[in-house]
Structure formats: C-alpha cells, structure tokens
Amino acid sequence: GAVVSQHPSRVICKSGTSVKIECRSLDFQATTMFWYRQFPKQSLMLMATSNEGSKATYEQGVEKDKFLINHASLTLSTLTVTSAHPEDSSFYICSAYGYGYTFGSGTRLTVV
C-alpha cells in the first residue's frame, strides 16, 4: 500500500534556529502534499497545500515566511520552520495525495 515517510519523528531545537521536516512518498507519486499542525488534544489544522514545482498555498493565518515549504519533486516535500519559537512547538503531520490521502507518522517539534 501507499507509504509516506516523515522525518524526523522528534526534534528539539533552540529558540531562533530553523528546523527542516521531510515528507516522502515511498511507493507512489504525490500530485499534492499537505502540511498539518496539531496541538495537544486538538484536531489537525491544515497549514498549507503544495504541488510539485509550484508555490505552496497557505491557509489564512499561517505565515508563509515562517513556514517554508518546498515541493521539489513528486515524492518529496519539506517544511522548514524558520526562527522557531516556543509557541511553534507542536506535532506536524504531512499527507501525500496520490492513491487517496496517505499520512506521515508526524514530527514532534519542541522549541526550547
């Protein structure tokens, strides 16, 4: 079946630094990839939608200069949290659309 690999699973970074999260579709080509953020005991909130080779579309209220998304190929999208602050600490989840929606295992980001 369709598999999406997301790395790292956990990351701790210092305030002010940047963190990159990778999302790869392993056995299919994803026409679209999605990035979600999830706070404890809350639902998944869509941050942005990206298509290969084009600029990402960000949801209202999501800072595009802070959450940089690169979708360089049909199998890889990256989310870079720039100048991270403690309030960016969250669970980030990617989803790739190819044969339906397939989700990654998530990345727990802690900014200290």
Partner 1 sequence: GESVGLHLPTLSVQEGDNSIINCAYSNSASDYFIWYKQESGKGPQFIIDIRSNMDKRQGQRVTVLLNKTVKHLSLQIAATQPGDSAVYFCAEEETSGSRLTFGEGTQLTVNP
- 26 burial level (CB within 10 Å; 0-12, 13-18, 19+): exposed
106 binding partner 1? (CB under 8 A): yes
Q: Which residue has the tokens 């980030």?
A: 92
Do residues 105 and 6 make contact, with C-beta atoms less than 8 angstroms apart?
yes
Supply the minimum distance, in Å, between the C-beta of residue 63 and partner 1. Answer: 16
Q: Please say which residue, 13 or 44, places its beta carbon nearer to partner 1.
A: 44
Name the site residues for partner 1 (rule: CB under 8 A). 4, 6, 31-32, 34, 36, 41-46, 49, 59, 91, 93, 95, 97, 100-101, 103-106, 108
